[in-house]
Structures are given as structure tokens and as C-alpha cells.
Chains A and B, each alone.
Chain A
Amino acid sequence: MLKIYVLVVVVGLVGGSVYGAFYYYKDTQQRIQILTENTAKLETAKKLQDITINTMIEDREKFAELNKELQSNMAAANKYRDVLINKLRKHDLTKLSLKKPRLVERKINAGTAKLFRSLEVLSGAAPAAK
């Protein structure tokens, strides 16, 4: 009878230990899995953040370059008007027309034709072959 009691106690102790070990193992595995998932999420977030930062840096560089180009092209667009203003300031058209009407007529018509061609080119037409 005593043997049976001892056996029950031993089996109980061994069973308890095994269950404890099993529970510990299960809990540890769960923790490891959660930590692995968290690490993966953090790594992904870090990669994503790096990509975002790099894209933003590239965008900033691209837009800085584009802005510079735009400002330079905008300034270049003033050229024709500035040249014209200077020409009109330099020459007294009334006096010149009275003196050399045919010459002025040729010049202003050539200038008008040239302006029209430049507007055509500006709208996308192919420049005339020289």
C-alpha cells in the first residue's frame, strides 16, 4: 500500500516537473516568436524609413536642380523684350523712318516675320532650316 502512495507521489512530482518545464518551454517559445515578429517589424520600419529619407533627399536635390533651371529659363525669356526695348531706345524710329522709309519698312517686316516664326517654334513647330 505504501509503495502505491510513494508511486503516486513520485508520479505526481515528475508529472508536475514535466508540466512546469513544458509550460516554461511553451511560454518562452511564445515570447521568442513575439520578439522575432517585433524585430522583423522594426527592421521593416527602419528600411521603410531609410527609403523614405533617401527618396526625400533625392526629391529635394531634383527639385533644387529643376528650380534653378526654371529660374534661368524664366530669366532667358526676358531676353527678346529687353533687346527690343534697347533697340527702340537706341534708334529714333520716327527720324529714321522719315530718312529711310524703305529700309525701316524692310527691317520692321523682317522683324515681324522673325517674331512670328519664333512664336511658331515656341508652340512646337520645327525651326526653319538655315
Chain B
Amino acid sequence: MPLLLLSSGCSTFKDVLPVEIKTVEVERKIPTPNRPQPVKLSDMHFYVVTPDTYEAFKARFKKENGDLLFYAISVRGYETLALNMAALKKYIEQQQQIIIYYEKAVAPMEKKK
């Protein structure tokens, strides 16, 4: 029996060490792609022509553009074009706001002081 006790050594009386479990929170980093190059739009010109100004317009138009060849658009057509452009602008703006929303949503959380 004393032999048995001696053979078990000091390992029998070792201290119980506390178990340390660490959980480290790793924040996801989602890279945001670069925005496309900005557009460069060229200017264009609308001529307003009435029966009274038609002759003067012809001369002016020829002088500015060479040939007397043009695409005509009615007042209603112009209004529609303007409204369509406004709708497109609104759509682009809203899409961009959604992109900004997602960019902010995936951005790393600022640490509170």
C-alpha cells in the first residue's frame, strides 16, 4: 500500500486550474467596389420656332449648323421629354441613395467611446 501511494506521485495532489475559454468577435469586412467614372454630358440646343420667327430661324439655323435639316419636337413632346428626364434623374438619385445605404450598412461599426 505505501508503495502504491508513493507510485501515484505528486500528480494526485495537483491544483485544479480554471479553464479559460476566450471568444473573440471578428467583424466582417465587406469591401465596397469603386464607383464608376462620372459621366461627362455634352450640351445640346433647343430652338423655339414660331410662325413669326420661322424665316429668321432658317437663316440662323443654317448659319449655326450648315444644312437646314432638323428634328422637330412639339411643345407637348418637349414637356414629355423633360418629365421623362426628371423621372430618370429621380431613379438614378434613388438608386444612389440605396447604394449609400448599403455602403453604410456594411461599413465597420464605430466603437462607442
Contacts and interface: CB of A to CB of B under 8 A. Distances in A.
Our verdict on whether A and B bind, yes or no, reads yes
Interface of A: 11, 15, 18-19, 22, 25-26, 29, 32-33, 36-37, 40-41, 44, 47-48, 51, 55, 58, 62-63, 66-67, 69-70, 73-74, 77-78, 80-81, 84-85, 88, 93-94, 97-98, 101-102, 104-105, 108-109, 111-113, 115-120, 122-125
Interface residues of B, number: 49
Contacts of B98: 70
29 contacts: A15-B1, A26-B12, A36-B18, A44-B21, A44-B22, A66-B101, A70-B101, A73-B94, A73-B97, A74-B94, A77-B97, A80-B86, A81-B86, A81-B89, A88-B82, A97-B50, A101-B48, A101-B49, A101-B53, A102-B48, A109-B46, A112-B43, A115-B85, A120-B39, A120-B40, A122-B93, A124-B35, A125-B38, A125-B40
- Secondary structure call for the B interface: loop
A36 B1 CA distance: 32
Q: Name the prevailing secondary structure of the A interface residues.
A: helix
B39 A93 contact: no
Q: Which of A15, A47, A70, A120 has the largest number of chain B CB atoms within 10 A?
A: A70
Interface string B29-58: 000000111111101111111101100000
Interface string B76-97: 0011001101110110111011
A66 B95 CA distance: 15
Contacts, number: 127
B101 to A, nearest CB: 5
A61 B38 CA distance: 33
A73 to B, nearest CB: 4
Contact of A81 (B45, B75, B90): B90
B84 to A, nearest CB: 10
A88 B79 contact: yes
A77 B1 contact: no
Contacts of A123: 36-39, 92
B19 A37 contact: yes
A61 to B, nearest CB: 10
A122 B96 contact: yes
A41 B16 contact: no
